[in-house]
Amino acid sequence: MKNILLQTERLSKSFSNGGAMQHVLKNIDLELYEGDFTVIMGASGAGKSTLLYALSGMDTPTLGTIHFGDAVISDLSQDELAVFRRAHCGFVFQQIYLIDGMSVMDNVLAAGLLVNRDKKALLKRAKELFAAVDIPEETQKKFPTQISGGEAQRVGIVRALINEPEILFADEPTGALNSKTGLDVLDTLTKFNEQGVSVVMVTHDMRSARRGNRILYLKDGVILGACNLGTYVHGDTARHEKLAAFLTEMGW
Partner 1 sequence: MERNMILTRANVRRAKGQTAAIVVLILIAAAMLNLWLMLALDYKANFVRCHDRLNAEDVMLALGVGGDEAEEFLAQTLEHDARTDEYYMDNVRYMPGSFPYNGGDITTPLIFLEKEAACARPVGRVEIVEESGQGEGIYMPILYKSDDIAVGKTVTLSIGDHPATYTVRGFFNSVMAGSHNCAMCEILLTKDCYDDLKESGYALDATLVPVRLKDRGDCEKYEAELKSAASEHFSGAQAAGNSYALIAQSRYISQMICAGIISAMAFFVLLIALVVIASNIINYIQENMKNLGALKALGYVGAQMIAALLFQFAGIALIVAAAGAGLSYLLFPSINAMMNAQVGIPYEIHFLPLPFVLTVAVVGAAVSLCVFFSARRIKRVEPIVALRQGTRTHSFRKNHVPLAQTKAPVHLALALKTTLSGIKQNVTVAVTMLVLSLVVVFSGLMLENVIFDITPFLDMIAGEVTDSCINVNAEAEEEFVREMEGDSRVEKAYLYHSQSSEVRHVDGVALAAIISDDFADVNNQSVVFEGRFPKYDNEVAVAAKYAREENLGIGDEIALTADGREARYLICGFTQISNNLGKDCLLTRAGYERMGELANVSYYLNLADGTDVEAFNEEMGERFAGDVNMTINVEAVVSGTVSVYVALMTMIVVAVLALSAVVIAFVLYLLVRTLIGNKKRDYGILKALGYTTGQLVLQTALSFMPAVVVFTVVGMLVCSAIINPLTALFLNGIGIVKCTFRIPVLFNVLAGAGLVAFAFAAACLMSLRIRKIAPRALLAEE
Do 199 and 21 form a contact (C-beta atoms < 8 A)?
Answer: no
Does 71 engage in binding with partner 1 (CB under 8 A)?
A: no
Residue 200's φ and ψ, nearest 5 degrees, are -120, 120
Does 82 engage in binding with partner 1 (CB under 8 A)?
A: yes
Of 76, 114, 222, 247, the one binding partner 1 (CB under 8 A) is 114
Min. distance of Cβ 57 from partner 1 in angstroms?
9
Of 16, 44, 100, 138, the one binding partner 1 (CB under 8 A) is 100
Q: Which is nearer to partner 1, 151 or 171 (CB)?
A: 171
For residue 162, the number of C-alpha atoms closer than 13 Å in the C-beta half-sphere is 31
Of 8, 38, 74, 94, the one binding partner 1 (CB under 8 A) is 94
Does 16 engage in binding with partner 1 (CB under 8 A)?
A: no
d(C-alpha 187, C-alpha 185), whole Å: 5
Which amino acid, one-letter code, is at 178? N
| Stretch of residues binding partner 1 (CB under 8 A), selected from 34-42, 66-74, 139-147, 206-214 | 139-147
Residues of span 176-215 touching partner 1 by CB under 8 A: none
Of 125, 159, 210, 239, the one binding partner 1 (CB under 8 A) is 159
Alpha helices in the chain (DSSP H): 48-55, 78-88, 104-115, 119-132, 137-140, 149-161, 179-194, 206-209, 237-250
